[in-house]
Amino acid sequence: MIIIGERLNSSRKPVLQAMENKDENYLQKEALKQEQAGASFIDVNAAALLDKEPEALEWIIPLLQEKLSVPLAIDTPNPKAMEEGLKAHRGKALLNSLSGEKEKIKSLLPLIKEHKPSVIVLCLDEKGLPRSPEYALSIANRLVDLLVKEGLDTDDIFIDPLAHPVSIEPDAAPLFLESLRRIKEKMPDVKTIAGLSNISFGFPQRRLVNRIFLSIAFLNGLDAAILDPLDAKLLRAISAAEALLDQEPSLQDYGRETRKKTIKIKE
Ligand code: THG
């Protein structure tokens, strides 16, 4: 499972404060902790800074890269901020995100051509979130074709079928899983990704629901997830799912690690 660390998001109050107060130490530590916990990308979102977002990313990205050996996922709906973020990023960034909306494609495609980042594709267009797996697949298919034409490797494309909150749509999880399955079946070389927390929005015991959802999604072919890598129980659920599927770490490693950790972490 590829982990994208979600903690550096300006929707979290301490992060917003650190971004506003230019607290370099806090931001670097928050990034490094996530890398050390196993994240392969660190998501950075400064959208709550509104018109200051482009300059914030231009400042934060090199600041974080001083300390990190993994790349950043540049998480913004604002094309201008994305442009500044991609310019500031050394090496291949992860663009979060492109979608099927015409305006998005028009503004982001030239940036993708120029910087050749990895790209997260949201299954969403002008009509909003798809209500059927067929529609999610058709958006994914169209955008993957477009990106491959621009010279991207399928390996560098992550499709996000977008989980809806179960508290609002009772069939959100089966819809997500069916979209995931269809996308994997049609495009086995592209990666799939999900932000974990949407599914449990407005639901009791969110962390537990997220953990169970992630395990089910993983067993159905999810390659990557945006989550809090410092959530020890969540990370252990991932290791358990990996061990069950005979991926890394092996079952033996899982047993050894678990015996060590159960001393500290109660089930
Ligand atoms: N797909 C893609 N990108 C995304 C998302 C997605 N980026 C944003 C979001 N969804 C994932 N990132 C976060 C970052 C922080 C939180 C949730 C998702 C968060 N959640 C708790 C809450 O909402 O209450 C608070 C946890 C806390 O107390 O720290 O903070 O789906 N491509």
Distance CA 18, CA 39 (A): 21
Ligand 1 pocket: which of 3, 11, 94, 162 to mutate (most atoms within 8 A of CB): 11
Which residue from 200, 210, 195, 230 is spatially nearest to 97, judged by alpha carbons?
Answer: 195
Considering only CA atoms, which residue is closest to atom 13 of ligand 1? 6
Domain limits, the chain = 2-234, 235-267
HSE, side-chain direction, 13 A CA sphere, residue 24: 8
Predicted pLDDT at 250: 63
Band (pLDDT 50/70/90 cuts) for residue 257 is low
- The pLDDT value given to residue 222: 96
Smallest CA separation from ligand 1 atom 29, residue: 12
pLDDT at residue 129 in the model: 86
User: What is the reported pLDDT for 50?
Assistant: 98
Architecture per CATH, 2-234: Alpha-Beta Barrel (3.20)
pTM (two decimals): 0.93
Query: Whose C-alpha lies nearest to ligand 1, atom 22?
Result: 197
Residue 151 CA to ligand 1 center (angstroms) comes to 30
- Please, what is the average pLDDT of the chain? 93
**Mutation probe of ligand 1 site: the residue of 12, 33, 119, 158 with most atoms within 8 A of C-beta:** 12
For residue range 72-97, what is the model confidence (pLDDT) as tens digits?
Answer: 999 999 999 999 999 999 999 999 99
| The pLDDT of residue 177 is above 90 | yes
Predicted local confidence at residue 128, as pLDDT: 87
pLDDT at 252: 64
- For 104-148, the pLDDT digits (tens) are 999 999 999 999 999 999 999 999 888 899 999 999 999 999 999
What does the pLDDT read at residue 244? 87
Cα 195 to ligand 1 centre (Å): 7
Q: What is the whole-number distance in angstroms between the Cα of residue 197 and the centre of ligand 1?
A: 6
| Digit-coded pLDDT (tens) for 193-249 | 999 989 999 999 999 999 999 999 998 999 999 999 999 999 999 999 898 886 666
The answer to whether the Cα torsion of 52, 54, 57, 62 is positive or negative is negative
Q: Choose among 89, 99, 28: nearest CA to 62.
A: 89
Smallest CA separation from ligand 1 atom 12, residue: 6
Q: What is the pLDDT of residue 267?
A: 46
Alpha carbon nearest to ligand 1 atom 3, residue? 195
